[in-house]
Homo-oligomer: A and B are copies of this chain.
Amino acid sequence: MPTTLLKLSCPDQVGLLARISAWVAEQGGNLVEVHQFTDPQAKWFFTRMEIDTHTLRADLPTLREAFEPLAAELQAEWTLRSAESRLRVVLMVSRLGHCLADVLWRWRSGEFAFDIPMVISNHEHYRGTVEREGIPFHYLPVTEDKTSTFRKVASLWDEARADLIVLARYMQIIPPELCQKWPGRIMNIHHSFLPSFIGANPYQRAHERGVKLIGATCHYVTHDLDAGPIIDQEVIRVEHFHTVEDLVRHGRDCERIALARSLRWHLADRVLIHGNKTVVFRD
C-alpha cells in the first residue's frame, strides 16, 4: 500500500494531535500508523503519521499548500512526502569497507529503498566494489589543504542532490561549515559506545580500560565532534581473552547493524531531531 508520510515537530499545546489528525481526516486520509511524543521538559510535540495514499483526495503539492496555514500557526517544522519517493544518499568511506559493503548489499537486495548517486572516498580501495554496482565513484584524497578538499566534497554533494550523507567509516573530520549547511543530514557511524572513548582509537582504549561490553553509535554530525544527536547504539559482550583485533571484529557487526537501522529509520522519516537529541519512532 503506497503511503504518505507526515513528520512534524512544534511547541506543545492542548489539542495538537486532534487538530492534526482531524486535518488528515478532512483530506480523506486513513491513518495507517501514528506516533506521537511530547517532551515534558522541552515542552515540544513530535508526531509522525503514515497515511494510506489512495484515501487522500489531493496530490502532494496541493496537500502541502493546504497544510501550510495550520503548520504556520503551530510554528511547526514539518515534511510531507510520499514514502515511495527515493531519497538520494551519498556514501563516504575511507579504508574500512564493512559498512559500505553492508549498505550496498541492503540497497541492492531492496531491503529498503533509496538511491546512491555516488560514493566518495579518500582512497581508491573500493572503486571496483562500487563501480561494479553501477555507482559512480569519486576519489578525493584529503591533502594538507583540507579547505580545498572539502570545497570539492561539498560541490559533489550538491551535484548529487544529496538528501543524506552517510559517513560509512569515513575517517576525516567534516568541517564545521559543512555541518551547519547540512544539519541533520550527515550521518556518522562511530566505532564506540558514545560518550565512551570519544575521539581516536576507541577499540584500543576499550581494550586498555578492560571494559566488558563494546559498541557502536550512529549519530548526526554536528560541529561538535562525536557529540551530535544519537540515533542508535548497539553493544556486544567481550571478555578478557579478546584482543584489540577481536574487539575491532566484533565491533564491525555492531557498526553495521547500528548504521543499517539508523539509515532505515531516517529514510522512513522516523527520526526527528530536537536540540541534541533524537526522537526515534522505531519500526
A34's contact among B17, B211, B233, B242, by CB below 8 Å, is which?
B17
Residue of B nearest to A29 (CB): B14
Residues on B with beta carbons closer than 8 Å to the beta carbon of A212: 230-233, 280
A210-239 residues with Cβ-Cβ distance < 8 A to B are: 210-213, 215, 229-233, 235, 239
Q: Are B36 and A34 in contact, CB atoms less than 8 angstroms apart?
A: yes
Per DSSP, chain A at the interface is mixed
* A103-145 Cβ-contact flags toward B at 8 Å (1 or 0): 0010001010000000000000000000010000000000000
**Interface residue? A181 (CB, 8 A):** no
A210's contact among B242, B260, B276, by CB below 8 Å, is which?
B276
A253 shortest CB reach to chain B, Å = 6
Given contacts A17-B34, A249-B111, contact A209 B233 (CB under 8 A): no
Residue of B nearest to A132 (CB): B132
A241's contact among B30, B37, B109, by CB below 8 Å, is which?
B37
Residues on B with beta carbons closer than 8 Å to the beta carbon of A209: 194-195, 230, 276
**Interface residue? A82 (CB, 8 A):** no
**Interface residue? A149 (CB, 8 A):** no
Residues on B with beta carbons closer than 8 Å to the beta carbon of A40: 32, 243
A10-49 residues with Cβ-Cβ distance < 8 A to B are: 14-19, 21-22, 24-25, 28-40
In the assembled complex, the Cα of A278 lies from the Cα of B246 at a distance in Å of 17
**Interface residue? A282 (CB, 8 A):** yes
A222 shortest CB reach to chain B, Å = 12
**Interface residue? A67 (CB, 8 A):** no
A25's contact among B14, B276, B278, by CB below 8 Å, is which?
B14
Q: Are A246 and B22 in contact, CB atoms less than 8 angstroms apart?
A: no
In the assembled complex, the Cα of A242 lies from the Cα of B282 at a distance in Å of 10
Residue of B nearest to A46 (CB): B240
Residues on B with beta carbons closer than 8 Å to the beta carbon of A229: 210
A26-85 residues with Cβ-Cβ distance < 8 A to B are: 28-40, 55
Q: Are A280 and B196 in contact, CB atoms less than 8 angstroms apart?
A: no
Binding site for B on A (CB under 8 A): 14-19, 21-22, 24-25, 28-40, 55, 97-98, 101-102, 105, 109, 111, 132, 193-197, 209-213, 215, 229-233, 235, 239-243, 246, 249, 252-253, 257, 260, 276-280, 282-283
